Amino acid sequence: MTVLITGGTGQVGFELQRTLAVFGDIVAPTPEELDLADASAVERFLEQTHPTIVVNAAAYTAVDKAEEEPELAQALNADLPAQLANYCARQSAWLVHYSTDYVYDGAGESFRTEDHPVNPLSVYGKTKLAGDNAIEASGAQHFIFRTSWVYGARGHNFVKTMLRLGESKSELNVVNDQIGAPTTARLIAQVTSQALAQRNAANIGLYHLVCRETCNWQGFAQAIFQQASELGKALAITPQAVAGIPTSDYPTPAKRPLNSRLIVSKLEETFKLKLPTWQSQLQQVLEEMQSYGVL
């Protein structure tokens, strides 16, 4: 059995390569080996490798830059998932795909279920939604895992940015009116593995996959500094020196959803698991970074 992982050099892709090895031979082409925006190249690669499981961790994730490059965002976030889904439908293969909280408009304060109306505010969100819809319409056996605020011990992410800034700055302003659940790349990979082990026609579909409990970005930054300090990280800043500001004070080209609260009960009940809190996962990531000597 062959498992194709697109986006294998990213945060989630790295964890998937380690976690999914039990399902078969892992094929994870680098960007130099396969241009995922080239449909012809992707088709040839599929024909050569003939994967029985396709895990699409690739995406155009530069949210603000997508406003300037909608064609490339469309190619990677919508056209690629559609192509992979059509292959899986033809070959009776399984497809795993990762969606985003950006498909919702973030209105109100209620938690979203998987059937909550979607209304993306940005090119990134619109193209990701188009990819989700193409997969659902393809007839392929699939899991779509909708997640949020992804980070890990590797790659570029909010945690690493905060730690870098906290080494030299004694004060920081961080947005406090966007609410969501920080979610680790390793947890996403672990849940993917558990879902694939239980895959059948009855559990095909869309699931929210985020850590339990929510916070705003200010609270997340404060927790990063608090936990890092407890692990011995030398910082110029204290958690109390992180001030909260509204999103309106930090304008960006792409609009962000203010409310990314997602209900995870469907995932937990279907696959018989209990998702951890974001605080416990943050601790694990910081400890892993410390073990690598990068904290």
- What type of residue is 293? G
In this model, does residue 170 exceed pLDDT 90? yes
Distance CA 268, CA 282 (A): 20
Could you report the per-residue pLDDT of 214-223, keeping only the tens digit for each? 999 999 999 9
Average pLDDT over residues 187-192: 98
In this model, does residue 160 exceed pLDDT 90? yes
Distance CA 67, CA 253 (A): 7
Could you report the per-residue pLDDT of 64-105, keeping only the tens digit for each? 999 999 999 999 999 999 999 999 999 999 999 999 999 999
Percent of the chain, pLDDT > 90?
97
Contacts of 195 (CB under 8 A, 6+ apart): 96, 143, 145, 203, 207, 271
In this model, does residue 155 exceed pLDDT 90? no
Could you report the per-residue pLDDT of 137-146, keeping only the tens digit for each? 999 999 999 9
Residues tagged active-site: 124
Average pLDDT over residues 233-239: 96
pLDDT of residue 183: 98
All structural domains of the chain, each given as residue ranges with its CATH number in brackets, are 2-157+182-211+263-276 (3.40.50.720)
Averaged pLDDT score across all residues of the chain: 97
Distance CA 145, CA 202 (A): 16
pLDDT of residue 295: 86
Distance CA 161, CA 167 (A): 10
pLDDT of residue 88: 98
pLDDT band of residue 153 (cuts 50, 70, 90) is: very high
The pair of three-digit structure tokens given for residue 142, joined into one six-digit string: 């699939």
Angle at which helix 80-91 crosses helix 123-138, to 10 degrees, equals 10
Average pLDDT over residues 235-250: 96
Contacts of 196 (CB under 8 A, 6+ apart): 20, 23, 53, 94, 96, 143
pLDDT of residue 293: 81
With vertex at residue 178, the alpha carbon angle to CA 176 and CA 184, rounded to the nearest 5 degrees, is 105
The pair of three-digit structure tokens given for residue 286, joined into one six-digit string: 């910081």
Average pLDDT over residues 170-184: 97
pLDDT band of residue 292 (cuts 50, 70, 90) is: confident
pLDDT of residue 224: 98
As a three-state string, the secondary structure of 36-103 is CCCHHHHHHHHHHHCCCEEEECCCCCCCCHHHCCHHHHHHHHHHHHHHHHHHHHHHCCEEEEEEEHHH
- Of 218, 225, 217, 206, which Cα lies nearest the Cα of 266? 206
